[in-house]
Amino acid sequence: MEIIIKPSVVEAQLETAKILRRQIQRKPASVLGLATGSTPIGVYAALVEMHQRGELDFSKASTFNLDEYVGLDPKHPCSYREFMREHLFGKVNLSPANIHFPDGLAKDVPAHCAEYEAAILRAGGIDLQLLGIGREGHIGFNEPSSSLASRTRIKTLTRQTLQDNAKCFGSPDKVPHHVITMGVGTIMDTRHCLMFATGEAKAEAVARMAEGAITADLPASILQMHPVCTLVVDEAAAADLKRTDYYRWVYDNKPDWQRV
Ligand code: F6R
């Protein structure tokens, strides 16, 4: 795993956006896996700016989001689809036909999840998957105890996640308890995982993910087994990492052709 520690949240956001920019510039028809949550908002803002400066053309790209709440209309202000419209889809030239989302209103959830997996395969697989991490180590909404081989399916959120996601809904008990999420196995099949985490609340999960044991108790730890995984963090989220001197050394000595 490549671990990039940036001095500030803004610099970490920019680095993450540059990695996404490089992906799209190298392969305009990239298939992107996207995450929601408070952490990537600044990354999406940076991508929108790059697009407005003419550096980024999304017209050939396609996207698959990680997850959606079960029971929420896509137009609900707290749906993840609405989040993406507000922060990215409504501001760049992605073709609506190329945007894919789990359907929180699907009548037959298992059939819909199987179809989501099939759609990813039909698109050629995900080139670059943007990820965030939950305080208890989830990726997507693969909460602790999730099968490390899981595919897209329904999951029940932990009490911690309900609390963390309560802001839009007003209180934790108003947050839908179920989501459809790409599985850990689905995420592991993507060609490049790009995890972005900031703030001290994520420090413990980040350290366990990168340096701890691989365990379903912290699903993100499976990323140690991913052949191409980049972790971008600010200093606060890096606070519990042990080998920071080495990570900084690697970054400072990165060959020019690997830089974004
Ligand atoms: C959301 C997702 C989640 C979040 C994680 C962190 O699509 O997949 O894994 O990335 O819950 O959320 P924030 O950024 O709000 O701390």
Tokens 């670059």 correspond to what residue? 128
- What burial class does residue 107 get, using C-beta atoms within 10 Å of its C-beta: 0-12 exposed, 13-18 middle, 19+ buried? exposed
Averaged confidence pLDDT in the chain: 98
Q: List residues bridging with 179 in a β-sheet.
A: 69, 155
Q: Give the separation between CA 201 and CA 259, rounded to whole angstroms.
A: 29
Handedness of CA 217, 221, 225, 227 (dihedral sign): positive
Tell me the average pLDDT across 102-126: 98
Q: Determine whether the shortest distance from the Cβ of 37 to ligand 1 is under 6 A.
A: yes
Q: Give the separation between CA 107 and CA 245, rounded to whole angstroms.
A: 51
* pLDDT tens, position by position, 9-23: 999 999 999 999 999
pLDDT of residue 13: 98
pLDDT of residue 163: 96
pLDDT of residue 128: 98
pTM of the model: 0.98
Q: Give the separation between CA 44 and CA 2, rounded to whole angstroms.
A: 22
What are the tokens at 257?
């052709």
pLDDT of residue 123: 98
pLDDT of residue 40: 98
pLDDT of residue 243: 98
Q: Determine whether the shortest distance from the Cβ of 33 to ligand 1 is under 6 A.
A: no
Tell me the average pLDDT across 85-91: 98
* 8 Å CB contact between 236 and 200: yes
Q: Give the separation between CA 130 and CA 229, rounded to whole angstroms.
A: 10
What's the half-sphere exposure (Cβ side, CA atoms, 13 Å) at 244?
Answer: 17
Question: If pLDDT is split at 50, 70 and 90, which confidence band does 76 have?
Answer: very high
Q: Determine whether the shortest distance from the Cβ of 102 to ligand 1 is under 6 A.
A: no
Query: Which of 141, 180, 184, 195 best tests ligand 1's pocket when mutated (most atoms within 8 Å of CB)?
Result: 141
pLDDT of residue 204: 98
Return the closest-CA partner of residue 81 out of 91, 67, 71, 98: 67
